[in-house]
Amino acid sequence: MVYGWSMIVFASFLMYQTVRCLVRVKKRWWSLPLLLFGSWMLVSMVIYIGDIANLPPTLFIFAACVYVAAEGSALKRITVGSMLASAVLAFNGLHDNILAAVVYRMCDEAWVDSEYALFRVLFVLVFYLLIRRRRLSADFELTKPLWRLLLLLTLPPLGIVLSLILFRSPYSSDMGTIIADAALFIIAILSFAGLFRAVFVLERQQKLEQENALAQYNQKYYETMEQQQFEIRRLKHDLANHLQALLVLTDEKRTAYIEELIDNPAFVRVMNYSKDATVNAVLTAKENRMRGLGISFHANVEIAEELPYEKSDVCALFANALDNAIEACEVWKKEATDGSKPEIALLARAAKGLLAVSVKNPCVQTEYDAQDKAGRGLPKTTKNDTVNHGYGLRSIREAVKKYGGNMEIGQEKGQFELFFFLPYHPDSKEHHDRENHSDQQSRL
């Protein structure tokens, strides 16, 4: 009895870990015991053909435990809970009605008592290891039509299991019926395996689409910055022509022309924050924008040479970080009642093998996508158009991951902080450029 209960407890823990591979569990004191109870009930329940008292309540209770204790959309929790419960119940039905009968005829009674828990542990262990290899990302979420499709595809194999258990006679013991029942149980298990495979494929496809969208977003952002810098150089180059035009204008028109030139971005001085031209261009543009919005900007940048990253990524990191801070300050100004001026503080340092960047700004209470304020979830965009906005922090996170770094966000006492760091090796960009040049020469 001790052996059997120990094995079932271990199987319940494995089932709980399997659930965690597919959904994020809420950080509540009752989430762990609730899911463990549901997992224990699922893996330990005996399912006999013709017994209508066990299967329906077990299916409902486990799915309800996942729904209550997990995060994510309602359709995601219902679909994942139903798929997990149905797959395990299909194996329980196969074991209790087919495999147990075979073992009973071939082995002694002691082995029959012990194999009940052993087979369940082995199945859940294999189930857990297969799903763990393809663990879903924390913020994975399909669209509602896709979740509805997966839930609909769960119904046929689940219907097979329910039909075998609830509508079959428990007294049919001929060999043909046993073989047919075993085949149907196996088909149901394989169907659920295919459904889980479809979930992983959809997750990977969605991740590729997001990465492609972020890459295009970053490239477009950098191209916009490059175009602005080109216009600045072009207008400065035409300064002699502007002076000649001023000589022939009347006083009234000359004054208007000068005011127009002063307001032109071409004559805004590019601040020398660091030795990286892309960083300087981004910070200059953002500081001018902050000045126009009445936001104080304090920058402490210690970057002694050009950063060894792609320019589009450098632009995405600094521009998105400051854009999010500016947006938060604008929202904060609407909520503030004392008329105080918001401030944004940027600290950036590239030394000792790391590029570390910190951006702090005032903020109102932030709502998180995954109800997670520990840095894993990302704050929701404050813009009404959530489809075309909300890429800023995601873009930063993807760029940081690209170079093997890490990103953290935090909020405390009305202050929001974004912090990220990347491995910093000044010679890596030059080495990469030499390798690309050598490859081109070899191809020629």
Domain ranges of the chain: 2-212, 272-431
Burial of 114 (0-12, 13-18, 19+ CB in 10 A): middle
Can you give the pLDDT at residue 420?
92
Contact 361, 416 (CB under 8 A): yes
Question: Is the separation of the CB atoms in 330 and 381 below 8 Å?
Answer: no
**Reported pTM:** 0.58
With beta carbons less than 8 A apart as the criterion, state whether 140 and 206 touch: yes
CB atoms within 10 A of CB 341: 11
Q: What is the pLDDT of residue 235?
A: 60
Q: Which has the closest alpha carbon to 327: 411, 396, 370, 383? A: 383
Beta bridge partners, 422, equal: 355
Tell me the Cα Rg of the chain: 31
Cβ contacts of 116 within 8 Å, gap of 6 or more: 4, 100
Spelled out in words, what is the top-level CATH class assigned to the domain 272-431?
alpha beta
d(CA 117, CA 182): 20
Residues 6+ apart with CB under 8 A from 423: 353, 354, 355, 403, 404, 405
**Taking the CB of residue 307, how many other CB atoms lie within 10 A of it?**
23
Tens place of pLDDT per residue across the chain (444 aa):
677 788 888 999 999 999 988 888 988 899 999 999 999 999 988 888 888 888 899 999 999 999 999 988 899 999 999 999 999 999 988 888 887 766 666 655 555 556 677 888 899 999 999 888 877 765 677 888 888 999 999 999 999 999 888 887 776 667 777 788 888 899 999 999 888 888 888 888 877 776 676 666 666 666 666 666 665 666 666 665 666 676 667 777 777 776 666 555 545 555 678 888 888 888 888 887 888 888 898 889 998 888 888 887 888 888 889 988 998 898 888 877 667 788 999 999 998 888 999 999 998 865 544 434 334 455 554 444 333 334 578 888 888 888 889 999 888 878 899 999 999 887 655 545 544 444 444 443
- Of 2, 38, 6, 10, the C-alpha closest to 123 is 10
**CA torsion through residues 208, 209, 214, 219, sign:** positive
Distances (CA, A) of 306 to 225, 269, 407, 437: 17, 20, 22, 19
Q: CB of 164 within 8 A of CB of 181?
A: yes
Give the relative orientation of helices 109-133 and 31-44 as an angle to the nearest 10 degrees: 130
Under a CB-based contact definition with an 8 Å cutoff, are residues 308 and 425 in contact? Answer: yes
Using an 8 Å Cβ cutoff, are 16 and 63 in contact?
Answer: no
